Amino acid sequence: MSGNKEIKNLKAFSTAAERFEGSHVLCPGCAHSIIVREILNATNDNMVVSASTGCLEVCTAIYPHTSWDTSWIHIGFENSSTAIAGAEAMNKALRNKGRIPADEPEPKFVAFGGDGATYDIGFQWISGCFERGHNMMYVCLDNEVYANTGGQRSSSTPIGASATTSPAGSTSYGEKRNKKDMLQIMAAHGAPYVAQVAPNKWKDMAKKIQKGFDAEGPVYINAMSACTTEWKFDPADTITVSDLATDSLVFPLYEIIDGTELNITYRPKNIVAVRDYLAAQPRFKHLFTPKYEYLIDEWQKRVDAQWEYLQRREEARV
Amino acid sequence: MSKSIHDMGWDELVLGAAVHSFKEEIDYNPSQVLPENRDYAETNSKYKYVGDWRVFKPVWNTDLCIHCQFCWLYCPDTSILSREKKMIGFDYDHCKGCGICQEVCPTNPKSIIMFTEQTEEEEALNQWPEKKGSK
Ligand SMILES: Cc1ncc(C[n+]2csc(CCOP(=O)(O)OP(=O)(O)O)c2C)c(N)n1
Ligand code: SF4
Ligand code: SF4
Ligand code: SF4
Ligand SMILES: [Mg+2]
């Protein structure tokens, strides 16, 4: 039986008994914790959670304290996926042997990793878990940078962003390569469910998380996590910047079921210009100089092309 | 255990050490029990204080609030307290003063406004701005 919470509206959602405690040391305004709260609050089931090294892990497990009212495990940077896959496999084995009684409710197995842990360093471990078909949810907290070690670029960092290892200056516009498309890659594993979510679109996100919890097999969630420190906006603006991201279609919200059935789940009423999204974040401020301004048009064209592609995929059902 | 975990250094931990969220074992699922009714362990971060991170603090105007819960939803520090679909106040031990709650509050004027940490609540409420854009 699924322990998904009934979330008719925001007031109903707010009756959730929180399982993520305060006095973690994430930055003021950090979206990681908003995402975690929205996920934990979507289910009533017991949870087994893991986290890769990164802001979320480091800041919620300051010795000798924990911010988690769930079972929680940390091993290393690259293996939140395999840690949770191991727990899931053990649960299955102990149930088969009758050492966990059949009437004991099944917990949800959820792994969290940053984009560094997901797109780069933990990639082969995640791929292995998906190939083996563990019953787990992997959530990437995608802030497009190695935030916890001071802002190095990852393969999720988008073109033109200034990062400490791809700094913008007189001879460079910052990151040179385009962001890797993790959602398509995870869908290509034949996963029953993959989705891109954003915490500012909370209803869409809750629906997808619950769909993910109901799916049999490995589920991948790419969660946009606006990072006040590395994207360099005011901490009060986390939701405002997130709105610009989803409404400019830089972060389109969609899902792919069984590797083929693509559904766009959010169509902004008023699509905002990519320029406005970039302008809100000083990591892109050098793009607003005559030398690099051409990149803003390129950005817009890329986002338009991606949106066109997603719509055609949705229509074609392949 | 002979030594309290607070007196131990990290190098005294054994591999695979565990930190407890709750006292002993609990026989309930925390998703079914509100925080005020749980048996937390001293090692739960909720007993730490980060209120001194704040430069600005949120102040709440109960007369204007429509209990929409946007502030509850988007607070990164679990510091908006809501019970039975009503906002009931802030948890100033855990609030870091980010200002998201003010930003997302939809009322006009805002029902939450950030004031400098030293401002008394009454003083803040006396300075509340008028409705914007009304003629
Ligand atoms: C194998 C390994 N390499 C490098 C590190 C150092 N390290 C710790 S956290 C971190 C950055 C994490 O970035 P990301 O996964 O994107 O998470 P974020 O902090 O951005 O949430 C790095 C490089 C490590 N702990 N282990
Ligand atoms: S650096 Fe970014 S991701 Fe890390 S805690 Fe701060 S805001 Fe959150
Ligand atoms: S966002 Fe504003 S109106 Fe809504 S519950 Fe919070 S204080 Fe009240
Ligand atoms: S200022 Fe930030 S941390 Fe404090 S209650 Fe508002 S949203 Fe939460
Ligand atoms: Mg990151």
What does the domain layout of chain B look like in residue ranges? 1-48, 49-128
Instruction: Measure B61 CA to ligand 3 centroid, in angstroms.
Output: 9
- Residue B88 gets which letter from DSSP? E
Residue B59's φ and ψ, nearest 5 degrees, are: -120, 140
Residue ranges and CATH numbers for the domains of chain A are: 16-316 (3.40.50.970)
Do A143 and A231 touch, CB atoms closer than 8 A?
Answer: yes
**Close Cβ partners of A76 (under 8 Å, ≥ 6 residues apart):** A52, A53
| C-alpha to C-alpha distance for A168 and A21, rounded to whole angstroms | 38
Tell me the percentage of chain B whose pLDDT exceeds 70: 96
Tens-digit pLDDT profile for residues A109-132 = 999 999 999 999 999 999 999 999
In this structure, the residue with its CA closest to atom 4 of ligand 1 is: A77
Give kind and range of the element (H or E) at residue B83. Answer: strand B80-83
A123, A125, A146, A283: which to mutate for ligand 1, most atoms within 8 A of CB? A146
pLDDT value for B15: 74
pLDDT value for A1: 47
Ligand 1 proximity of A248 Cβ (cutoff 6 Å) = no
| C-alpha to C-alpha distance for A45 and A217, rounded to whole angstroms | 17
Ligand 1 proximity of A147 Cβ (cutoff 6 Å) = yes
Q: Point out the ligand nearest to the CA of residue A226.
A: 2
Ligand 4 proximity of B58 Cβ (cutoff 6 Å) = yes
Statement: residue B2 has pLDDT above 70: no
pLDDT value for A63: 87
Q: Which residues of chain A fall below pLDDT 70?
A: 1
Residue from A3, A101, A13 nearest A47 by CA: A3
User: Of A18, A29, A202, which has the smallest distance from its Cβ to B100's Cβ?
Assistant: A29
Which residues, chain by chain, have CB under 5 Å from ion ligand 5? A 114-115, 143, 147
Query: Three-class SS string for chain A?
Result: CCCECCCCCHHHHCCCCCCECCCCCCCCCCHHHHHHHHHHCCECCCEEEEECCCHHHHHHCCCCCECECCEEECCCCCCHHHHHHHHHHHHHHHHHCCCCCCCCCCCEEEEEEEHHHHHHHCHHHHHHHHHHCCCCEEEEEECCCECCCCCECCCCCCCCCCECCECECCCCECCCCCCCCHHHHHHCCCCCEEEEECCCCHHHHHHHHHHHHHCCCCEEEEEECCCHHHHHCCHHHHHHHHHHHHHCCCCCCEEEECCCEEEECCCCCCCCCHHHHHHCCHHHHHHHCCCCCHHHHHHHHHHHHHHHHHHHHHHHCC
Confidence of residue B134 (pLDDT cuts 50, 70, 90): low
Amino acid at B79: S
A50, A148, A179, A230: which to mutate for ligand 1, most atoms within 8 A of CB? A148
pLDDT value for B8: 79
Task: Report CA Rg, chain A.
Answer: 19
A34 to chain B, any CB pair closer than 8 A? The answer is yes
Of chain A, the end-to-end C-alpha distance in Å amounts to: 31
- Residue B84 gets which letter from DSSP? T
Q: Point out the ligand nearest to the CA of residue B81.
A: 4
Statement: residue B5 has pLDDT above 80: no
Amino acid at A20: F
Tens-digit pLDDT profile for residues B41-93 = 999 999 999 999 999 999 999 999 999 999 999 999 999 999 999 999 999 99
Instruction: Measure B113 CA to ligand 3 centroid, in angstroms.
Output: 11
pLDDT value for B17: 76
For CA atoms A11, A16, A17, A21, give the dihedral sign: negative
Statement: residue B135 has pLDDT above 60: no
pLDDT value for B14: 74
| C-alpha to C-alpha distance for A95 and A102, rounded to whole angstroms | 7
| C-alpha to C-alpha distance for B75 and A242, rounded to whole angstroms | 14
Residues A66, B20: C-beta atoms closer than 8 Å: yes
CATH among 3.90.1150.10, 3.40.50.1240, 3.30.70.20, 3.40.718.10 for B49-128:
3.30.70.20
Instruction: Measure A232 CA to ligand 3 centroid, in angstroms.
Output: 26
Do A4 and A47 touch, CB atoms closer than 8 A?
Answer: no
At residue B114, the 3 state secondary structure works out as strand
Tens-digit pLDDT profile for residues B32-48 = 999 999 999 999 999 99
Give kind and range of the element (H or E) at residue B70. Answer: helix B70-74
Tens-digit pLDDT profile for residues A124-161 = 999 999 999 999 999 999 999 999 999 999 999 999 99
Statement: residue B1 has pLDDT above 50: no
Residue from A176, A160, A153, A178 nearest A286 by CA: A160
Cα-based distances in Å from A279 to A80, A156, A246: 34, 19, 15
| Shortest Cα distance, chain A CAs vs residue B123, angstroms | 23
Ligand 2 proximity of A58 Cβ (cutoff 6 Å) = no
At residue B58, the 3 state secondary structure works out as strand
Strands A47-51 and A71-73: parallel
Q: Point out the ligand nearest to the CA of residue A57.
A: 1
Residues B77, A22: C-beta atoms closer than 8 Å: yes
Cα-based distances in Å from A106 to A48, A95, A96, A171: 10, 10, 13, 55
Chain A residues 185-224 within an 8 A CB cutoff of chain B: 199-200, 202
Ligand 2 proximity of A33 Cβ (cutoff 6 Å) = no
Nearest atom in ligand 1 to A52's CA: 15
At residue B86, the 3 state secondary structure works out as strand
